[in-house]
Structures are given as C-alpha cells and as structure tokens.
C-alpha cells in the first residue's frame, strides 16, 4: 500500500497544522502505526472555514452551470472507481473491517453516491404561486453556504461520501472533519478532488479530535449548517454549542434496530439476515439489527439455527479475502463493548454464545455474542452496544411485538420478516423508526432518504428532493404586476 496523505487539505493545498502536532493512526488488528497525521486545532479550522467561505461567496462554484457541477461530480466518481482497491484496503487497515466488505461494498458504493448525485444539480426546482392576478410569487432554492460535515469511524469512506455528494451537488462548499480514528480515506478524497479539478476551497478536509477541531468547527461563525453523524451523546452536546449561532443542524445518530420475525417467514432467509444484520462489521453499524424479537413458538428453533450460523463465521486478519469478521476499531471501543456485555450478565440476560476472542497486539478482537431472555427494561435492549452482540426477546402476539419494538429511545430502523404482506405493511405503519425493511428491504439505495426518530436524530440524509431541502435555503420572491399605486397612505 502506498503512503497516505498526512496533512490537512485546505484551499486545494496540503498544509501542516498550525500547532505542528500530529496524531498516530493505528491499525487495530496489529497495533501498528499506519501514519502520523497533522492534527487540526482552532486556527486550522478557521483557515479551512475561511477558504470554504471565500469559495462560496466569491468563487465560481455556486454560480457554475449546474451541468458542469454535475460533470465534476461524475469525474470524481470515476476517479474514486480507479482507486477502489487502495481505498478499500485503507479502511480495512484503519478500522479492521474485512476487505471483502470494504472492497465489496464501502468503496464501490461511495463512488456510486457521487454518480447518483451528479444528476441532481440541474434538477433543483422551485415553485410559482400564481393564483393572484396581479402578483407572481416565486419560491426558489439556493445553496446554503459553508457546510461543516463531521463523521464517525465505522464507515470512514462511505460516511464521507454520504455527506459530500449531496452537499456539493446542491452548490455548497464544505469542511469535512472525519473521525480522528479513521481520517485516511477522507484525506485520499481530498487528493482526488484536487486531481479532478474542484475549485480551491470547495472541499476541505481537516483531521482533528472532536474536542478541539470538532468543537471549533461547529462554533465557527462562518459555518452555515452542521451535518453530523455519530453518537447520540455527542449530538446532544453539539446542539448545545450550535444553538447560540442559530445554525441549521442535521443529526444522524445511533440506533437499536429491532428485527420482528413472524413464524410464517422463510426461516433460512431470516437466519442469514439476522446473522448478517448484527455481525457484519462486528456490529459497528448504526442500523445493526441488535434486538431480535421472536415468537415464543419459534424461539428454540430459530435461536439454535442462528447460533450455529454465527459459530461458523470466520474471524481473523481483516486483509484476508476469506475473513468475514475482523476486529473492533479501537481498544477503547473494545472495552466499552466488554462493559456492556458484563452489564448484560449482571442484569440477568442469559449468554448463549460468546468468545473466545482472537488474541492480538492491540486487543481489539471480539467474538460474536448472543444473549437470550433479554427483557425490554435491560440495558441490552435499550442502549446501543455498537459491537457484535445480539439480544433475543420473546413475544407472544403481534401487539406485544410492536410494543417491545417501540419500547426504546432510538428509532433509526426496524426489520419485519413475514410472508403476510398485509401484516408487514400494517406493522410498518405502527413502528416508530425512520426506515422499515420488510423481508430484507432490498439493500442500500443512495437516492433514498434516511430519517431518524427519537434519539436517532433529525433532518434527512440523502434523498434527491430531500437533499435539496436539507442543503438549500428556500426563499420567496414577490413580484407585483399591478399598475395601480398602493392604496395606503392615500
Ligand atoms: P462520536 O459521536 O464519538 O464521533 C463522531 C464524530 O464527532 C467524530 O468525528 C468526532 O471527532 C466528532 N466529535 C466528538 N465530539 C465532538 C464535539 N464535542 N464537537 C464536535 N465534534 C465532535 O461517534 P463515533 O463513535 O465515531 O461513531 C459511532 C456512532 O455513530 C454510533 O452511535 C453510530 O450509531 C453512529 N452512526 C450513525 C449513522 C446514521 O446514519 N445514523 C451512521 C454511522 C454511525
């Protein structure tokens, strides 16, 4: 693997941080340092926001023919496609996610996102209110300005693409702050943006901690909107800081996805989907299906088959194409998963599958774990573990299943498995979550919007029309066609 950019990308230039400090980006599978990357602090944030502000206020970007803006996004998609192997391997080394997932999903999906949004710029429409004879009221949409995008470590490249594609398509400029844990692919995107010819200041990528760079970014007066993906606790803290600036905020936060399985569902498909849903990326997925709601008549058979499938998963070196489970992203995160598991045992849940974890220098491996006899009041049914931990809850009838599914502070996603389409749709209307997948749902679509209920956040990520709403200001222009003078103060 070639070396990675290790500076800050501001105004189409690579620069060191003002403080000269660096941060070691570590491979969690081996404990080796991959790169020492410049660390942004408040002065660097100011520099990046100033560049983005200038590019927005004075530059060509937002005035550019929208077709041209779309073409640049398409070129960006193609440039990313030319480096799928490198991008995938970088995230694999950086967060311990198996190469079959980063190469099979994260990297190509990220390129696709830019291609999808390359079609948006010339389709951002307004409205005309024409019911008055002497007045034409036009509603128009205009890019918002400088967007601060702050992302987590679990899908480093894809989360960056999810933010950048609609922000850029709508004519805004951006300061992207990836997680300090996993900045490498975001920095690679900076280099690719330079190569395909984005004007200076349109895309800026700064690496820094949440406490320093993140906090300075959300408070900066030059930022018009904050779009954040991360933990609920961080989001709540950010809202406090953002409110004095009255900035727009989009929050994509945590989840505790319930999977409601009905006895008429095709069992083999359910087993595969449940195992994938909670163990892929070792459960470090916002929509991980961490709560399984199973009917009492089916409990024993379903659980037995899930345990058997989970035991067969191959955990090991994330760079090996045969590996299905890699390691958790940091030792600190691994400790928080261990803590949740210990708490689950103390609260009386029955552990039916656990370890042993592989041994490694960095101590980040954690084996699939399943808890049975979980009840809705237990922490395992309420809090996000963000690890490979499945909680099994048993229900007696449909109403109880819905009650259990909704008895949680998060509402990002819910899964329903049933051969009865009418029941599935009826329940989909009752579940309190922004996304409901019926019988697997058919996978990720970059043009579909993502919503959150409750502590899972607010605002809309992605979606064509929705992206235009989220990242554009809407204004009305009132045009009088009257030839009469005003009746007042006559
Ligand atoms: P995190 O909240 O700890 O960090 C996310 C980002 O916020 C990082 O870039 C971090 O540096 C920054 N940050 C931290 N404190 C900050 C502060 N005070 N001010 C400004 N920025 C700050 O989250 P994480 O541990 O990196 O990611 C895991 C979380 O992300 C999980 O809860 C997961 O569910 C969530 N997530 C949600 C979605 C979604 O679409 N809803 C997608 C992916 C991940």
What does the pLDDT profile of the chain (490 residues) look like in tens digits?
668 999 999 999 999 999 999 999 999 999 999 999 999 999 999 999 999 999 999 999 999 999 999 999 999 999 999 999 999 999 999 999 999 999 999 999 999 999 999 999 999 999 999 888 889 999 999 999 999 999 999 999 999 999 999 999 999 999 999 999 999 999 999 999 999 999 999 999 999 999 999 999 999 999 999 999 999 999 999 998 888 888 899 999 999 999 999 999 999 999 999 999 999 999 999 999 999 999 999 999 999 999 999 999 999 999 999 999 999 999 999 999 999 999 999 999 999 999 888 888 778 999 999 999 999 999 999 999 999 999 999 999 999 999 999 999 999 999 999 999 999 999 999 999 999 999 999 889 999 999 999 999 999 999 999 999 999 999 999 999 988 888 888 8
Contact 442, 269 (CB under 8 A): no
Bridge partner residues of 137 (DSSP): 129, 478
Q: Which two tokens stand for residue 343?
A: 């708490």
**Residue 121 half-sphere exposure toward CB, CA atoms < 13 A:** 23
Task: Report the distance separating Cα 59 and Cα 56, nearest Å.
Answer: 6
Q: How far apart are CA 179 and CA 173, in angstroms?
A: 19
From CA 181, how far away is CA 156, in angstroms rounded? 9
Q: Does domain 8-253+456-476 bear CATH number 1.20.58.220? A: no
**SS3 of 489, please?**
coil
Mutate to test the pocket of ligand 1, among 40, 153, 234 (most ligand atoms within 8 A of CB): 234
Q: Is 342 exposed, middle or buried (0-12, 13-18, 19+ CB in 10 A)?
A: exposed
Let me know if 342 is a catalytic residue.
Answer: no
pLDDT of 329 reads: 97
| pLDDT score at 169 | 98
**How far, in Å, CA of 147 to CA of 71, rounded?**
21
pLDDT score for 245: 83
**Tokens in use for 124?**
């951002």
Alpha helices, DSSP H only, in 349-448?
379-382, 398-406, 421-430
CA distance 156 to 149: 13
Tell me how far the alpha carbon of residue 6 lies from the centroid of ligand 1, in angstroms: 22
Whole-number Å distance between alpha carbons of 63 and 121: 11
Counting Cβ atoms within 10 Å, is residue 126 exposed (0-12), middle (13-18) or buried (19+)? middle
Q: How far is the CA of 234 from the centre of ligand 1 (A)?
A: 6
Give residues (CB < 6 A) around ligand 1: 150-154, 159, 177, 179-180, 209-211, 214-215, 218, 229-231, 234, 237-238, 252-255, 286, 384, 386, 412, 450, 457
The CA 488 to ligand 1 mean position distance, Å, reads: 56
- State the distance between the two ends of the chain, measured CA to CA, in whole angstroms: 79
CA 125, chain centre distance (Å): 27
Q: Cite the DSSP H helix spans in 30-155.
A: 42-57, 66-81, 84-95, 99-101, 107-118
Residue 317: what pLDDT? Answer: 97
CATH 3.40.309.10 boundaries in the chain = 258-438
Ranges for all domains in the chain classified under CATH 3.40.605.10: 8-253+456-476
Cα–Cα dist 450/73, whole Å: 21
CATH of the domain spanning 258-438: 3.40.309.10
Determine the pLDDT at residue 360.
Answer: 80
pLDDT for the residue 485: 86
């Amino acid at each position: 693997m070639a070396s990675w950019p290790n500076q800050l990308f501001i105004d189409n230039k690579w620069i060191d941080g003002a403080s000269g400090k660096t941060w070691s980006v570590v491979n969690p599978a081996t404990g080796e340092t991959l790169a020492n990357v410049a660390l942004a602090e408040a002065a660097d944030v100011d520099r990046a926001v100033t560049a983005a502000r200038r590019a927005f206020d004075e530059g060509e970007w937002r005035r550019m023919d929208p077709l041209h803006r779309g073409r640049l996004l398409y070129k960006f998609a193609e440039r990313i496609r030319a480096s799928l192997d490198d991008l995938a391997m970088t995230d694999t080394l950086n967060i311990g996610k198996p190469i079959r997932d980063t190469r099979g999903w994260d990297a190509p999906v990220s390129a696709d996102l830019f291609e999808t949004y390359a079609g948006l710029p010339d389709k951002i429409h307004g409205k005309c209110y024409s019911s008055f004879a002497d007045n034409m009221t036009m509603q128009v949409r205009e890019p918002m300005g400088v967007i601060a995008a702050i992302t987590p470590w679990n899908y480093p490249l894809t989360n960056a693409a999810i933010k950048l594609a609609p922000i850029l398509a709508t004519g805004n400029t951006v300061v992207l702050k990836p997680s300090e844990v996993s900045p490498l692919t975001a920095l690679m995107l900076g280099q690719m943006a330079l190569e395909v010819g984005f004007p200076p200041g349109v895309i800026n990528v700064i690496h820094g901690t949440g406490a320093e760079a993140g906090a300075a970014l959300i408070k900066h007066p030059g930022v018009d909107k904050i779009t954040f993906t991360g933990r609920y606790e961080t989001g709540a803290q950010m809202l406090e800081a953002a409110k004095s600036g009255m900035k727009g905020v989009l929050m994509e936060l945590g989840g505790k996805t319930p999977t409601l399985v009905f006895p008429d569902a095709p069992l083999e498909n359910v087993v595969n989907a449940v195992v994938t849903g909670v163990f892929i990326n070792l459960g470090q997925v916002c929509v991980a299906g961490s709560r399984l709601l199973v009917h009492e008549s089916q409990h024993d058979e379903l659980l037995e088959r899930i345990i058997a499938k989970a035991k067969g998963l191959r955990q090991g070196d994330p760079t090996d194409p045969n590996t299905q489970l890699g390691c958790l992203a940091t030792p600190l995160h691994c400790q928080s998963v261990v803590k949740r598991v210990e708490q689950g045992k103390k609260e009386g849940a029955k552990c039916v599958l656990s370890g042993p974890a592989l041994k490694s220098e960095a101590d980040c491996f954690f084996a699939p774990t399943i808890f049975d006899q979980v009840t809705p009041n237990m922490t395992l049914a309420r809090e996000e573990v963000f690890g490979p931990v499945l909680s099994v809850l048993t229900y007696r009838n449909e109403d109880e299943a819905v009650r259990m599914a909704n008895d949680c502070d998060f509402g990002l996603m819910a899964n329903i498995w049933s051969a009865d389409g009418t029941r599935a749709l009826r329940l989909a209307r009752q579940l309190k979550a922004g996304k409901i997948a019926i019988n697997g749902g058919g996978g990720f679509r970059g043009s579909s919007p993502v919503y959150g209920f409750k502590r899972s956040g607010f605002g809309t990520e992605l979606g064509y029309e929705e992206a235009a709403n989220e990242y554009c200001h809407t204004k009305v222009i009132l045009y009088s066609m009257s030839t009469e003078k005003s009746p007042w103060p006559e």
